[in-house]
A and B are shown apart, each in its own frame.
Chain A
Amino acid sequence: MQGEDLKGEHTEAADRPPAIDLTGIDKSFGAVHANRAIDLRVAKGTIHGIVGENGAGKSTLMSILYGYYQADSGEIRVDGRVVDIQSPDDAIAAGIGMVFQHFMLVEPFTVLENVMLGVEGGMRLAQGAAQARRELQRLERDYALEVDPDAVVGDLPVGLQQRVEILKALYRGAETLILDEPTGVLTPAEADHLFRILRQLRDQGKTVILITHKLREIMAVTDTVSVMRRGEMTATVKTAGTSPEQLAELMVGRRVLLRLDKAPARTGDPMLELNGVSLTDERGVTMLDDVSFTLQAGEIVGIAGVAGNGQSELLEVISGIRRASAGTMRIDGRPVDILHSADAARQRRIRLAHVPEDRHRMGLVTAFEANENTILGYHDDPAFANGLLLDRAGIRGHAVERMEQYDVRPPDSRLKTENFSGGNQQKIVLAREMERAPKVLLVGQPTRGVDIGAIEFIHRQLIAMRDAGAAILVVSVELDEIRSLSDRILVMCDGRIIGERGPEASEQELGLLMTGIAE
């Protein structure tokens, strides 16, 4: 393995014990060996990145460090002392704090109330609160983490909510801070701000462990990076001495094309036309505001935007999951009623296919067998019927064919869908939606939670569909993905399309547009 010789480069920091020192951590879940003899040494006062594909064992390792799981064998040392971490309380006592991808905040509470939650101190709340406020002010001053202590957390933007999470960990005396995929929900500007905070924390002597699958972030902010693959630690290298290509190769175990080769689009007739589409939800909040655009056959149009700016609602209106409050839509020149009824089955009949953003919530019934999911939405197709009953043998045969074609592993159509990995689940959804050669294909987050190897495959499939004449609309929070896939990019902010750019537009330019700063 190429990374082996890079191991043990850490001897230079021998004068100080490492902040975190894991030796021989091993963890199995039944038949699954999640962590194999992991050694990890995180030097004090550094930002240490951990990268790896989905399912490589990063989160398991961090869950062991934070006390959610106990390792089967191995040793954890914090500042040179062996510690026994049985629960998150033990981890906090050892000075380890964790910021989860999905925040653990009580939204109707204020920042101060969230920070002191669980460590209120004494029977009388006011006393603890006064003390917490003083401490909070000190932390904010020391680490440039400004947040109004009396703001209600639910009203804060995600970037600030994340800061509250960091404050919570620091308030509990964290010396080492673990961040799990912290930038997934942030705008590029918010991410930059987060990185500034992390550097500030490092400069004040704190240690930061950053789990991510975004190589760009690793390159931008970390000092050292460890790569995990299939439960093993394959390499630990100095960030300055490596490249994204090398890291990707270490992660996947083979050479990966990070750039997508594609011919220029040959566009045809307009396939999807939206005119003045607006959506106001039950609470009276405007989710979509006068959205108009045209999608032509043979092109991929990307919608860039920070999550929660109307992209999900747009996909739901187009695909017939919810009604719009105003506007018109045409598919292949024919008007489709989007105001009075929402019926996803009708949209499917006129050959609009939809790969939803969240496969667990929407795209799959995970408790179904794989073959049952390969007909979801197409289950009333006479091809799957045998008189009054479902043609189960036919459905299974069809499923196995599709699974082989899309390289779903294992190609076992009777396996429960929840037992496939994320990438394979996504391929099941893609196979189902793409196989009927739709005229319009909506794809939300095509590669969310999918590992690098599968991303390549999915992207190539999308390009092939485009070249076959499909009109494809891609929504993704990954700007890299939008830029490499799209022939045109529409930027959404606050439910409006606020600009159109070519794929050559720079990340900064798109990032500014996404936040609604530049038009």
Chain B
Amino acid sequence: MTGTTPAPQTPTKARRSARRRGRLPAWIDFGLIPLLNLAAALLVAGLVVLFIGENPLDAVQILVWGALGYGEGIGFTLFYATNFMMTGLAVAVAFHAGLFNIGGEGQAYVGGLGVGLAALALDRFVPWWVTFPVVIAGGALFGAAWAFIPAWLQARRGSHIVITTIMFNFIASALMVYVLVELLTPQGAMQPETRTFETGGQLPELGWLFAAFGLDIGGAPLNITLFVALAACALVYVLIWRTRLGYEIRAVGFNPTAAVYAGISTVKITVIAMLVSGALAGLMALNPVMGEQHRLQIDFVTGAGFIGIAVALMGRAHPVGVVFAAILFGILYQGGAELAFEMPAISRDMIIVIQGLVILFAGALENMFRPGVTRIYNVLTGPGRAPGEAKAGA
């Protein structure tokens, strides 16, 4: 009796099953729809560029060339992408537990304190590869600690994690200014920043690796944090889809009531997922603090925590998607800087507008094209030709 028909009982249920029927193959879901979103964003951005009297096609060309056209551009693109991978992963892990962690910014900032303190303690005495595991632990620990309080408040007291994490971003900002200005800035220094780390606190750059392929990344601060980020992507995949903990995280995220029925503690899972999320955000600090500036500065996160939200949304909370989305935002970041330089009419703020449009279309309006694409797909495949689409019969 396969192929019996769905029977919607109420309009809401009807709508839900209509959506269910509209399942799409993966190449549309993960390929075509993100590309459509991106195209729409670029189209609107192009109109804006046109409006201020510049040629949008030239602008696109400059942007792409600036990001990918030469070695140094690629180096910077990947450097930024590394930041976004870490913060994107952080948001993605929390998503799987049904939590919207928008505190990546603050967690990365405080994670930087862990990284900085570990580096300051060790850099004069040991080589970088001894410092390395310690700073990883420090960044993860401090980031996780900053996520713990909102997590605990959510799990135990029901305080909404969106509200608490965004508030913790502000607290982190104030805290870090205090710590840097009052405690860590060397006497007599003009800038609120720590002393520059010695070689034991500097991560190796990757110029040699690209040079092996005949590419000169010039002054780009691309460093081995890229590999930390890629390893984190792989580990997150294993955690979420291959382990019991990941199973429990997804169960809580999809259906907390069923999770409690299954004997899973939602309090425990909420806290653990946020700790992992905060740790990942905290690791982002490695890249600017130890890979680029070699010192801890005010505001080194520069919005990467927020871009992580868009990266996670666009990457559908899957590590592979996160990698691609992070590279896309790396391109926008680096290419955008180039564009602002080459086309004076397009200011730095315009670049932020364009990035905002991409975030809007890829993240917030993620489902805008879905119904239309689904309808077209259904028409093209026609009834009876969609394998696995039919509801199983009773």
Which of A's residues lie within 8 Å of B, judged by CB?
28-35, 53-60, 63, 68-69, 100-102, 180-181, 230-231, 319-321, 343-348, 354, 356, 361-368, 372, 376-377, 379-380, 385, 388-390, 392, 409-410, 412, 415-416, 418-424, 450-451, 453-454
A348 cross-chain contacts in B, Cβ below 8 A: 263
Which of B's residues lie within 8 Å of A, judged by CB?
1-11, 14, 17-18, 20-23, 238, 242-244, 247-248, 250-251, 254-255, 257-265, 378, 381, 383-386, 388-394
CA distance A32 to B378 in the complex (A): 11
Q: How far is the CB of A472 from chain B (nearest CB, A)?
A: 18
Q: How far is the CB of B359 from chain A (nearest CB, A)?
A: 26
Q: Is there contact, CB below 8 Å, between B5 and A33?
A: yes
The 7 closest A-B pairs by CB, nearest first: A345-B263, A423-B394, A344-B263, A377-B262, A34-B5, A55-B4, A367-B254
Q: Is there contact, CB below 8 Å, between B7 and A59?
A: yes
Contact A365 to B263, CB < 8 A, known contacts A55-B4, A419-B391: no
Instruction: For B247, give its contact among A101, A366, A390 (CB under 8 Å).
Output: A390
Q: Is there contact, CB below 8 Å, between A55 and B394?
A: yes
A356 cross-chain contacts in B, Cβ below 8 A: 261
Contact A180 to B391, CB < 8 A, known contacts A364-B258, A368-B251, A419-B20: no
Q: Is there contact, CB below 8 Å, between B7 and A57?
A: yes
Q: How far is the CB of A362 from chain B (nearest CB, A)?
A: 5
B390 cross-chain contacts in A, Cβ below 8 A: 30-32
Chosen A-B contacts, 22 in total, with CB atoms closer than 8 Å, are A32-B6, A63-B11, A180-B10, A181-B9, A344-B260, A356-B261, A361-B255, A361-B257, A361-B258, A362-B261, A365-B254, A366-B254, A372-B247, A376-B261, A388-B243, A389-B243, A410-B2, A415-B388, A416-B23, A423-B394, A424-B394, A450-B394
CA distance A321 to B262 in the complex (A): 9
CA distance A230 to B383 in the complex (A): 16
Residue of B nearest to A344 (CB): B263
Contact A56 to B5, CB < 8 A, known contacts A409-B392, A419-B20: yes
CA distance A415 to B389 in the complex (A): 10
Q: Is there contact, CB below 8 Å, between A55 and B391?
A: yes
Q: How far is the CB of A322 from chain B (nearest CB, A)?
A: 9
Q: Is there contact, CB below 8 Å, between A354 and B378?
A: no
Q: Is there contact, CB below 8 Å, between A60 and B5?
A: yes
Residue of B nearest to A252 (CB): B1
Q: Is there contact, CB below 8 Å, between B254 and A56?
A: no
Q: Is there contact, CB below 8 Å, between B262 and A376?
A: yes
Q: Is there contact, CB below 8 Å, between B243 and A390?
A: yes
A34 cross-chain contacts in B, Cβ below 8 A: 5-7
A424 cross-chain contacts in B, Cβ below 8 A: 392-394
Q: How far is the CB of B316 from chain A (nearest CB, A)?
A: 13
Contact A377 to B261, CB < 8 A, known contacts A102-B10, A390-B242: yes
CA distance A16 to B386 in the complex (A): 45
| Further contacts, 13 of them, CB under 8 A, given A63-B14, A376-B262 | A28-B383, A30-B390, A55-B391, A180-B10, A231-B5, A361-B255, A363-B261, A367-B255, A390-B247, A409-B2, A409-B394, A418-B20, A421-B392
CA distance A34 to B392 in the complex (A): 13
Instruction: For B384, give its contact among A31, A181, A231 (CB under 8 Å).
Output: A31
CA distance A69 to B2 in the complex (A): 23
B10 cross-chain contacts in A, Cβ below 8 A: 100-102, 180
Instruction: For A389, give its contact among B11, B238, B393, B394 (CB under 8 Å).
Output: B238
Q: How far is the CB of A444 from chain B (nearest CB, A)?
A: 11
B23 cross-chain contacts in A, Cβ below 8 A: 416, 419
Instruction: For B389, give its contact among A31, A35, A181, A363 (CB under 8 Å).
Output: A31
Q: How far is the CB of B346 from chain A (nearest CB, A)?
A: 43
B262 cross-chain contacts in A, Cβ below 8 A: 344-345, 376-377, 379
CA distance A380 to B259 in the complex (A): 13
Q: How far is the CB of B241 from chain A (nearest CB, A)?
A: 9
Q: How far is the CB of A287 from chain B (nearest CB, A)?
A: 17
Residue of A nearest to B8 (CB): A59
CA distance A230 to B18 in the complex (A): 18
Give the most central of B3, B20, B262: most A CB within 10 Å.
B262
CA distance A389 to B11 in the complex (A): 41
Q: How far is the CB of B11 from chain A (nearest CB, A)?
A: 6
Residue of A nearest to B19 (CB): A418
Contact A343 to B263, CB < 8 A, known contacts A55-B394, A101-B10, A422-B394: yes
B255 cross-chain contacts in A, Cβ below 8 A: 361-362, 364-367
Q: How far is the CB of A183 from chain B (nearest CB, A)?
A: 14
Q: Is there contact, CB below 8 Å, between B254 and A368?
A: yes
Q: How far is the CB of B23 from chain A (nearest CB, A)?
A: 8
Instruction: For A368, give its contact among B9, B250, B383 (CB under 8 Å).
Output: B250
Contact A451 to B258, CB < 8 A, known contacts A231-B5, A390-B243, A421-B4: no
